[in-house]
Structure 1
Amino acid sequence: MGPDIDPLDLRLASRLAELRTGSGWSLEELARRADISRSTLSRLERAEISPTAALLGRLCRAYGRTMSQLLAEVEQDAAGLLRAHDQPVWTDPATGFVRRSVSPPQSGMRGELVEGILPADASIAYDGPSVPGLEQHLWLLAGRLELTVQEQLHRLAPGDCLRFRLWGRSAFRNPGPEPARYVLALVLP
């Protein structure tokens, strides 16, 4: 670990190690459940690498959490009013995808809001939902977005809203030429 490691990455690495040991799983067992190599998991837990959105998606599915729940566990406690400059932001090192937790998960609440910015020509694929049946409402604010939900492709233009419950695979693709900016409302079943 070097001195330039983001504090959020350090807390995330620690939390991932806690979840694995708390579940009584070895690195090999988690590797099998999440379909991630043992060496990658080890490096993640030591904060030697930053997780991509795809890796976090696989880990969240193995632990039965949404990505927002996992990130909220390592971020500061959210107040009722969360000013824009206090909203946690995470960037996927592989794609440049920026995820702002506008209204993070909070105890006793089932919904949350996330802002996503996916660069032009970038894509993210998820093998399955972290929580089966997760209700999602995606409202595209700018750019174009191709969203595949359980093998059905949806092409969204600014102002379009796609509502769905996620049971299977999904993929986000920005065909360009500008970043796709959207709001995603997540509601636990």
Structure 2
Amino acid sequence: MKHHEVITPGPAGTGLDARLGRRLAELRTEHGWSLGELAERSGLSKSTLSRAERAETSPTAALLNRLCNIYGRTMSQLLSEVEAAPAPLLRAADQQVWEDRAAGFVRRSVSPPHGGLRGELVEGRLAAGADLSYDRPPVPGLEQHLWVLDGTLAVTAEGTEHQLDAGDCLRFRVWGPTRFRCAGPAPARYVLAVVRP
């Protein structure tokens, strides 16, 4: 079995967090917004945004989701913008793994990154007891197909909670808040096919 590198916070100025922080600062600058203006638009504090842009902290999934919503990108698109030039083949050992330890969430970008494609595959893993909520979609109207590989998962979309077991697949469009919850006792692993409108 190949080892997948899990991206975790490192010293400021190095690694994925630093590249991601620089890209977030570039996006804010491209829009001509101050930290205060971005804070108003995102509902995040200026200090939280500043720490993320300076890579003083590893951003959470919820924070990245809000910023993706503001910038009109999926999380995979944002993460691919800080990687090397796109290739049509992405070996398992080279697939980017990102972790939100506080939420018990691990996200692996399975599809080769490419900003111009509408679809992508993501592998998600939630620890038993994990409860991950997003207050808005990264891109309104995003189509998602969630296929549970292992464990059980409760997914709330459009105000309806769906209980999914291994092998079940849920298709939905994301217009509002969503929630992914793994009650346990085992962790949940799933594939998420994401298609931009």
TM band (smaller chain): over 0.9
AA in 2 matched with 1:12: L
C-alpha distance after superposition, 1:142-188 (max 9, x if no partner): 01100000211000000000001111110101001111000000111
Query: Is there any run of 5+ residues in structure 2 with no aligned partner, and where?
Result: 1-8
1:13 paired residue number: 21
SS in 1 for 2:124: strand
TM-score, length of structure 2 as denominator length: 0.91
From 144, 147, 157, the counterpart of 1:136 = 144
The alignment's C-alpha RMSD in Å is 1.6
Which residue in 2 is equivalent to 1:62? 70
Distance (Å, rounded) in 1 between the aligned partners of 2:49 and 2:96 = 24
CA–CA distance in structure 2, aligned partners of residues 109 and 5 of structure 1: 30
Q: 2:92 aligns with which of 81, 84, 101?
A: 84
Match of 2:53 in 1: 45
Over 3 Å counting, the alpha-carbon distance change for 1:133 and 1:42 in structure 2 is: same
The answer as to whether partners of 1:51 and 1:93 remain within 8 angstroms in 2 is: no
Match of 2:128 in 1: 120
Cross-structure match for 2:36 = 28
Amino acid at match of 1:174: C
Aligned to 1:166: 174
Q: SS where residue 36 of structure 1 aligns?
A: coil
Q: Does 1:111 align with 2:119?
A: yes
Shift of 1:130: 1.1
* 1:89-128 Cα deviation digits (max 9, x unpaired): 1001321311100004414421100000011101111111
CA distance in 1, matches of 2:116, 2:50: 33
How many aligned residue pairs are there? 189
Equivalent position amino acid for 2:70 in 1: A
Amino acid at match of 1:92: D
Q: Find the residue that maps to 1:116 and give its secondary structure.
A: strand
**Aligned partners of 1:137 and 1:58: how far apart in 2?**
21
TM normalised by structure 1 equals: 0.95
Measured in 2, the distance between the counterparts of 1:5 and 1:74 equals: 13
